[in-house]
């Protein structure tokens, strides 16, 4: 029978001392998991203390998780402690990478990481400080599910000035990244619909649909973007398009195709167009074409845009604009969700836009990227590479297409470039099922150091010949 | 036939002038949506200019969205402009509320809004400033899908110190709120499983499952929380529990029930327990019981927690801890998702925890809420209400249960309280299907002004008699 000497308990009350003694035996393994403890009555008798003392000690041990009780059976030593620590440290670390991006290349054309130099740190920090000092009460007030009013109004204002769009702030739903908003849209539109994405296209999008287990078709493009007849053939209900600047081909969807697409959506109930305007602010040359959203009279367009391209990829703020019919459905079914962007960032961004700082920043970005693109393309044209490539889709966004006319197979070009420190992204990697073109590369140049432009072209030339 | 005088074009090139003239007619309604424009050749002949001039003008009008072309048919005036503006302003505003919470009550016991006075603004602002000035490069680097390393490590450290849990940082997945993490979990665990939530319980949770169209059962509780036999009867695969402090009843799940539950999960493949430890840091009295996560040897527990209770509800940072088997599945299937919390907030919170500021803050919160609870309960006991109510679940979190012994029906009590400026939340509102107890109220006191305690009790007494 378990016994303890309760003559020298020091300043501890009896029950406390008893509790510590048992705990000590558990920790040192004298009492093992599953061992049964004496009943309160028997133990009290044996120790020469009151039943209450044992009861108190047991209660404390239960509360601390060292023992547990099974009604009508008794008290047992719990099964945890040092073994847990060992077990949990036996992890395979490599399956859980903790870093993002790869900076080991001389030039990485596969990354769209934005440069930290371009983020307006000084102004942003100033706005953050202001918000933290003058908006404390608002910062603590729960945001409506669609986002704080100030941010939605400032986005509506910006869209009017910059994009000629007329949008009510209530139509704008703020979320932590476009991927999150897709999840909301699937919940809103239903899992029974057939979704479609562009082929070639942004493969992460198809992964999202797959992850939500909704049917998703790849729709081949012609020179104007997604073809309506292909949508009809595939029985599509909801199509995702990037009309301002198709990713990755750079196709700008002509206005006639836009009307055709709207016509397709209007023909059947339940059809919708998701217009992803992901980098429209970074149009570098040419006139803008109105968004589908602004010429949509049938309430069939869901417009999506993000600040991850114009601010930085690590600020997770995107938004969607719902047409009235879907908006009421959203408020009915999904308004129980909290907004996923913290108030701190919502208020900061709202003021940043309101005070015109965002527009200044976007204009600065465009100048920067235009120069970057020009330097790269000039270096390319002047280099020996110039004669063997053709360029397209260079008017907008942060990438262009480079078609290399060479007899080398694509895999060889990529391998050779890689061995020279140049990481390329082949357009073929964006195709699904369809036979992709060979030796066309999607050149993301946002993270390229253009001081290296001439050397990059030399290395690329060597890789292609 | 449409014609323009091209003799006085000013400094504009001919095509530019022609373009402006047509645009002017569209804006003033001389040319109407759907009107057909002359063919390029005919128009050129008529105006006495080259076909190229008309072609350039048309191309620019197309790019600007004023006209569109239909292949082999011709050019048409586009259907947008002023009508869009009118249409979009005809919105029903009331369906889209832009404000959160209700401050019009004398005391609102239904709200768990945290007070802005409690947020550690000074220290938080200091950390924000530091991060903005010394971590610029890291701030711009894409976060791994599970969150930045520093935050995950600091959470692991905090859980070890504060909760006695041994967790590898790689097991921790950061997300913008618990609701978002639920969405990820459903994608991870699959839609074919039967999920279960506690009854009474947090109804938002069931809404999430419903919104994702996954089967979800309500499981009745006994005095120890969720009953294993009920789980077996309902054929449950994945159960959501709040063992540290059941919401809303306040039940602390005894260790014996915890072992039973772990045994249930271990018996069949595909069974999991989601342990939502949402306010465990705010335990006000009593000893903590070890989490299910720390006594789980079968890798069956997914632990969830949030900073929305301990920092403020408008900072959207939560995390989950995945057992090794699920972790590898997560990295395989869902690591394409970007982390939904911005780097700014991740780095700020990481430093806030690392430097011990979070622990100091939590201790301060506990003192504050303990005092608040004590003042309220003392005022209640001293008031005439004291004799007609009983209190339970007051040891943890920011709410307790108040059972009112009265002959008045619940709806009358609530109505009478409301007319006196007191908003009550009935426990019955958290029940689903089951026959709920009458006149039990879930008293969320975090936003109550305790200087009003005596007056609140007076008004409550009047409402109950």
Rg for chain A, CA atoms, rounded: 31
Q: Do B65 and A295 touch (CB under 8 A)?
A: yes
Q: Which of A76, A98, A120, A150 to mutate to test the interface with B (most CBs of B within 10 A)?
A: A98
Set of chain B residues whose Cβ sits within 8 Å of the Cβ of A100: 141-144
Q: Is B255 in Cβ contact with A65 (below 8 Å)? A: yes
A47/A171 Cα distance (integer angstroms): 73
Q: What number is the average pLDDT over the span B129-146?
A: 90
pLDDT for res B64: 66
Residues facing A300 on adjacent strands:
none
Contact B96 A258 (CB under 8 A): no
User: For B97, which residue in chain A has the nearest alpha carbon?
Assistant: A144
Provide, as residue numbers in chain B, all residues whose Cβ is less than 8 Å from the Cβ of A96.
146, 168, 170-171, 327, 331
User: Among positive and negative, which fits the CA dihedral A244, A248, A251, A257?
Assistant: negative
Q: Please, what is the average pLDDT of chain A?
A: 87
CA B161 to chain A, closest CA, distance in angstroms equals 14
- In Å, how far is B388's CA from the nearest CA of chain A? 30
Tell which residue, B338, B429, B187, has the closest CA to residue A101: B338
Rounded to whole angstroms, the Cα distance separating B224 from B247 reads 13
Q: Has residue A89 got a pLDDT over 70?
A: no
pLDDT exceeds cutoff 80 at A28: no
Q: Is A92 helix (H, G, I), strand (E, B) or coil?
A: coil
Q: Do B316 and A176 touch (CB under 8 A)?
A: yes
- Mean predicted confidence (pLDDT) in A25-33: 77
The radius of gyration computed from the CA coordinates of chain B, to the nearest angstrom, equals: 31
pLDDT recorded at residue A101: 43
**pLDDT for residue B280:** 81
Task: Please give the Cα distance from A394 to A158 (Å, whole number).
Answer: 25
CB contact under 8 Å between A99 and B149, yes or no, is yes
Distance, C-alpha B80 to centroid of its chain: 37
Q: Give the nearest partner residue to B80 out of A180, A287, A294, using CB atoms.
A: A294
Region B22-50 average pLDDT: 83
Joined together, the tokens standing for residue B165 give: 């849990």
Of A100, A170, A258, the CB nearest to B141: A100
Chains A–B, number of C-beta pairs less than 8 Å apart? 301
What is the CB neighbour count within 10 angstroms for residue B16?
Answer: 16
- The domains located in chain A, with CATH, are 14-95 (1.10.10.10), 107-117+360-464 (3.90.1150.10), 118-357 (3.40.640.10)
- Please judge whether B287 and A64 are an interchain contact, meaning their C-beta atoms are less than 8 angstroms apart: yes
The residue of chain A nearest to residue B131, with distances taken between CA atoms, is A125
- CB contact (8 A) between residue A295 and residue B93: no
For an interface test with B, the pick among A92, A96, A153 (most B C-beta atoms closer than 10 Å) comes out as: A96
CB contact under 8 A, A97 and B144: yes
Greatest alpha-carbon pair distance for chain A in Å reads 100
| B290: Cα separation from own chain's centroid | 27
Q: Mind listing the pLDDT tens digit for each residue in A108-117?
A: 998 877 677 7
Percent of chain B with pLDDT over 70: 91
What's the rounded mean pLDDT across residues B108-127?
85
Position B328 scores a pLDDT of 93
What pLDDT does B74 receive?
Answer: 86
What residue of A is the nearest CA neighbor of B192? A213
Do the Cβ atoms of B113 and A142 come within 8 Å? yes
Q: How far apart (Å, rounded) are the C-alpha atoms in residues A400 and A284?
A: 12
Contact A99 B133 (CB under 8 A): no
On the question of pLDDT at A426 being above 50, the answer is yes
CB contact under 8 A, B115 and A345: no
Find the CB nearest A204 among B315, B336, B339: B336
Q: Is the CB of B295 less than 8 angstroms away from the CB of A99?
A: no
Query: Which residues pair with residue A443 across a beta bridge?
Result: A400
Please tell me the predicted confidence (pLDDT) of residue B454: 95
C-alpha–C-alpha distance, residues A415 and A162, integer Å: 42
pLDDT tens-digit readout, A135-183? 888 898 889 999 999 999 999 999 988 888 899 999 999 999 999 999 9
Q: Which candidate in B160, B321, B336, B338 is best for mutational testing of the A interface (most A CBs within 10 A)?
A: B338
Task: Calculate how close chain A gets to B203, using CA atoms only, in Å.
Answer: 10
Q: What is the 3-state secondary structure (H, E, C) of chain B?
A: CCCCCCCCCCCCCHHHHHHHHHHHHHHCCCCCCCCEECCHHHHHHHHCCCHHHHHHHHHHHHHCCCEEEECCCEEEECCCCHHHHHHHHCCCHHHCCCCCCCCCCCEECCCCCCCHHHCCHHHHHHHHHHHHHHCHHHHHCCCCCCCCHHHHHHHHHHHHHHHCCCCCHHHEEEECCHHHHHHHHHHHHCCCCCEEEEECCCHHHHHHHHHCCCCEEEEEEECCEECHHHHHHCCCCEEEECCCCCCCCCCCCCHHHHHHHHHHHHHCCCCEEEEECCCHHHCCCCCCCCCCHHHCCCCCEEEEEECCCCCCCCCCCEEEECCHHHHHHHHHHCCCCCCCCCHHHHHHHHHHHHCCHHHHHHHHHHHHHHHHHHHHHHHHHHCHHHHHEEEECCCCCCEEEEEECCCCCHHHHHHHHHHCCEECCEHHHHCCCCCCCCCEEEEECCCCCHHHHHHHHHHHHHHHC
pLDDT tens for B48-69 read 888 888 888 888 787 667 788 8
Rounded to whole angstroms, the Cα distance separating A278 from A258 reads: 17
Q: What whole-number distance in Å separates Cα of residue A276 and Cα of residue A407? A: 36
Please, which pLDDT band fits residue A95 given cuts at 50, 70 and 90?
Answer: very low
Which ipTM was obtained for this model?
0.78
Of B71, B313, B338, the CB nearest to A142: B313
* Cβ-based contacts of A174 with chain B (< 8 Å): none
Q: Is the peptide bond before A128 cis (omega within 30 degrees of 0)?
A: no
The three-class DSSP label of residue A228 is: helix
Answer yes or no: are the C-beta atoms of A391 and A402 closer than 8 Å.
yes
Tell me the sheet residues that pair with A226: A221
């Amino acid at each position: 029978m378990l016994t303890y000497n309760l003559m020298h308990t020091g300043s501890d009350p009896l029950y406390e001392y008893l509790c510590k003694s048992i705990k000590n035996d558990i920790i040192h393994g004298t009492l093992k998991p599953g061992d049964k403890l004496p009943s309160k009555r028997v133990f009290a008798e044996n120790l020469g203390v009151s039943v209450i003392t044992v009861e108190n000690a047991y209660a404390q041990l239960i509360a601390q998780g060292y023992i547990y009780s099974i009604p009508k059976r008794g008290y047992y030593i719990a099964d945890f402690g040092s073994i847990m620590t060992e077990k949990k440290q036996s992890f395979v670390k490599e399956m859980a990478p903790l870093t993002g991006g790869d900076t080991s290349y001389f030039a990485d054309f596969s990354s769209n990481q934005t440069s930290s130099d371009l983020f307006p740190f000084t102004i942003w920090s100033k706005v953050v400080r202001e918000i933290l000092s003058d908006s404390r009460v608002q910062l603590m007030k729960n945001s409506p599910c669609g986002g704080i009013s100030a941010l939605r109004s400032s986005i509506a204002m910006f869209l009017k000035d910059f994009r000629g769009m007329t949008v009510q702030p209530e139509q704008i739903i703020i979320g932590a990244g476009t991927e999150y908003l897709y999840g909301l849209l699937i919940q809103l539109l239903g899992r029974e619909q057939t979704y479609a994405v562009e082929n070639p296209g942004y493969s992460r999008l198809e992964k999202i649909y797959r992850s939500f287990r909704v049917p998703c078709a790849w729709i081949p493009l012609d020179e104007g973007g997604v073809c309506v007849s292909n949508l009809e053939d595939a029985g599509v209900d909801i199509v995702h398009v990037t009309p301002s600047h198709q990713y990755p081909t750079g196709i700008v969807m002509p206005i006639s195709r836009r009307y055709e697409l709207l016509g397709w959506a209007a023909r059947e109930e339940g059809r919708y167009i998701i217009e992803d305007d992901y980098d429209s602010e970074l149009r570098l040359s040419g006139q803008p074409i109105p968004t589908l959203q602004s010429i949509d009279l049938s309430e069939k367009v869901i417009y999506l845009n993000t600040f991850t391209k114009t601010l930085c990829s690590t600020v997770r703020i995107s938004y969607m604009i719902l047409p009235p019919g879907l908006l009421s459905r959203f408020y009915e079914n999904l308004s129980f969700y909290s907004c996923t962007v913290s108030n701190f960032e919502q208020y900061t961004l709202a003021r940043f836009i309101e005070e015109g700082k965002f527009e200044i920043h976007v204009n600065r970005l465009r100048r920067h990227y235009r120069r970057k693109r020009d330097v790269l393309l000039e270096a390319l044209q002047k280099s020996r590479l110039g004669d063997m490539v053709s360029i397209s889709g260079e008017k907008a966004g942060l990438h262009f297409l480079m078609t290399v006319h060479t007899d080398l197979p694509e895999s060889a070009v990529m391998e050779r470039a890689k061995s020279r420190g140049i990481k390329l992204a082949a357009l073929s990697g964006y195709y699904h099922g369809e036979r992709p073109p060979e030796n066309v590369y999607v050149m993301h140049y946002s993270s390229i150091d253009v001081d290296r432009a001439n050397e990059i072209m030399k290395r690329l030339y060597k890789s292609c010949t």
